[in-house]
Structure 1
Amino acid sequence: MASMQTEIENRLTEAFAPTRLEVINDSAKHHGHAGDDGSGESHFTVAMESAAFEGVSRLQRQRRVIAALGDIVGERVHAVAIKASAPGE
């Protein structure tokens, strides 16, 4: 079974064909806090650049990323911080 980080990377690559994608597992920083399920895969940061975000508001970018992640956010992962940009931003 693939790690949650790999699953996130695969879903975002398929949905957005990013020119830059970094998925960071921040779970260790949240150990013992709300949402920490002890799995070591509860909190992530996504930094992504894609042409799909050109002319799209910050809110819509976040909504599109969350939609692409499907059941991951809120069901399998407690939190995902999203930094989505278009090329040249």
Structure 2
Amino acid sequence: MDPSVIEQRILQAMPEADVHVESDDNVHYLARIVSDEFAGLNRIQRHRRIHAALGPALGQEIHALSLDLKTPDEAAA
């Protein structure tokens, strides 16, 4: 799956987010996402938010996904 497809799926669920997805092989991905929606959420809750946005593609077209999830304040620090 092309990284831009993953970016679009995340942006559909979180339209205001700043989303960047990288992959060298279109199977293993690194997603860096900055969003106000992460405020007040712990790490697991943030990950669940992204997993829900990607749905069944996780474990099928997406073999491995590393997530770097921050609020704007955390990203600026």
- Identity of paired residues, percent? 33
For 2:57 and 2:5, how far apart are their aligned partners in 1? 9
Within the candidate set 11, 19, 22, 1:21 is matched to: 19
- What is the RMSD computed on CA atoms of the aligned residues? 1.2
Residue 67 of structure 2: aligned partner: 82
For 1:71 and 1:10, how far apart are their aligned partners in 2? 15
Q: Detail structure 1 runs of 4+ shifted over 3 Å in the superposition.
A: none
Larger radius of gyration: 1
1:5-84 correspondence runs (5 A): 5-17=3-15, 18=17, 20-27=18-25, 41-84=26-69
The number of residue pairs the alignment matches comes to 73
Q: Which has the higher helix share?
A: 2
- 1:26 shift after superposition: 3.5
Unaligned runs of 5+ in 2: none
For 2:42 and 2:51, how far apart are their aligned partners in 1? 14
